[in-house]
Each structure stands twice: as structure tokens, then as C-alpha cells.
């Protein structure tokens, strides 16, 4: 049985940080990373989907995936400025890689 792709949530917690989705496009995302009340970074990354799989008889549905540490510099980038993050987002949405 095929399940729909589970989308990334608007708010999530990962690696001790809280994240809030700022922008979602056809190809990419911008999430604000909240480290402390006075420090916010912006992660921009390409949409990646983990395929549906079966582990020990249990179906793990296909899902959009948040970038891993290894994705940074290849399909994910981090910026201190929302302006710079949005610039990268627009490049990615236009089909470029921004490099």
C-alpha cells in the first residue's frame, strides 16, 4: 500500500534547536534556527525525500527530510541574515544551485 509523502512540519526540534519554517517552495525551504532568544540563523536547503520502506514488517512512509550535517555545503546552507537566506532560496527555486 502506498502512503502519501509526509511533509516537513512548520515547527520542529532537532539537535537541541527549535526550527520554524519561513519559506517553502517547489524545490527548497528556509527554516529559522533558534539557538538563543538573541541569535537566529537561517537554514536553506533543497527538498529531499526519503522513500517508503519496510523494516521488520512495519511500513515507514515516504517523507520529506530535514538536512543532515553532511548535506551542508552541497544541498543545504546556513546564513545569519534572512536577506541572504532568501536570496539563496530564490536561486534554488529558479533551478540554480547558487554556487
CA distance 64 to 66: 7
- The ranges assigned to domains in the chain are 11-93
Split at pLDDT 50, 70, 90, the class of 85 is: very high
Position 19 scores a pLDDT of 97
> Max alpha carbon distance in the chain (Å)?
46
The sign of the torsion formed by the CA atoms of 15, 20, 21, 23 equals: negative
Split at pLDDT 50, 70, 90, the class of 99 is: low
CA distance 42 to 84: 9
* Other CB atoms within 10 Å distance of the CB of residue 79: 17
Q: Does residue 75 carry a pLDDT above 70? A: yes
Amino acid at each position: 500500500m502506498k502512503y502519501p509523502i509526509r511533509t516537513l512540519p512548520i515547527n520542529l526540534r532537532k539537535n537541541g534547536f527549535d526550527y520554524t519554517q519561513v519559506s517553502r517552495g517547489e524545490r527548497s525551504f528556509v527554516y529559522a534556527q533558534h539557538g538563543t532568544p538573541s541569535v537566529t540563523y537561517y537554514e536553506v536547503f533543497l527538498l529531499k525525500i526519503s522513500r517508503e520502506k519496510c523494516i521488520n514488517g512495519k511500513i515507514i512512509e515516504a517523507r520529506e527530510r530535514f538536512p543532515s550535517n553532511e548535506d551542508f555545503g552541497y544541498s543545504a546552507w546556513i546564513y545569519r541574515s534572512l536577506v541572504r537566506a532568501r536570496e539563496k532560496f530564490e536561486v534554488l527555486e529558479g533551478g540554480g544551485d547558487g554556487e
